[in-house]
Amino acid sequence: MQCCGIGYDVHRLVTGRKCILGGVEIPHPKGLEGHSDADVLIHAIADAILGAIGEGDIGKHFPNSDPRWKDAPSRVFLSEIRHMLEGKGARLLNIDATVIAEAPKVLPHAPAMRSHIAGALGLDPRHVNLKATTNEGMGFIGRAEGIAAFAVASVEAP
């Protein structure tokens, strides 16, 4: 049986933090605020995969109230979710994700991001598709106050 899940995440941009997207540090004067590294792209992907296998969301498995996840690289979440998939006899087929940000520019970093995400999930990078867009200057994203991401995951489950 094939299943799909959708994920969404958003974090505020703040000074004093690194900007990590898709597991890659992107040069930018601000970074994403959050308990872990606040990687909105990986968080959206994690939620999409968890949704596809009926396992809730990232907050259920990696709560911000747990000190183990303080400043944790989000790649750890993907590795843990990969083990969950394997435990269920499920296989991740592909990821399709979109980052919404006015800045920084995301697409120049997409190959490294795809490779990083694919490595954590045991996927061929060709099965990780990344897109980026702006919010055309509208809303908090348009004012460069935050970054959001959407993701869809396809999973084959027994």
Q: What is the pLDDT of residues 12-60, one digit of tens each?
A: 999 999 999 999 999 999 999 999 999 999 999 999 999 999 999 999 9
Domain made up of 2-156: CATH architecture: 2-Layer Sandwich (3.30)
Q: What is the pLDDT of residues 100-152, one digit of tens each?
A: 999 999 999 999 999 999 999 999 999 999 999 999 999 999 999 999 999 99
What are the residue boundaries of the structural domains of the chain, listed by start? 2-156
* Mean pLDDT for the chain overall: 95
Which H or E run includes 47? helix 40-52
User: 147: closest CA among 157, 128, 133, 130?
Assistant: 133
| Sign of the CA dihedral with 46 first, then 52, 53, and 57 last | positive
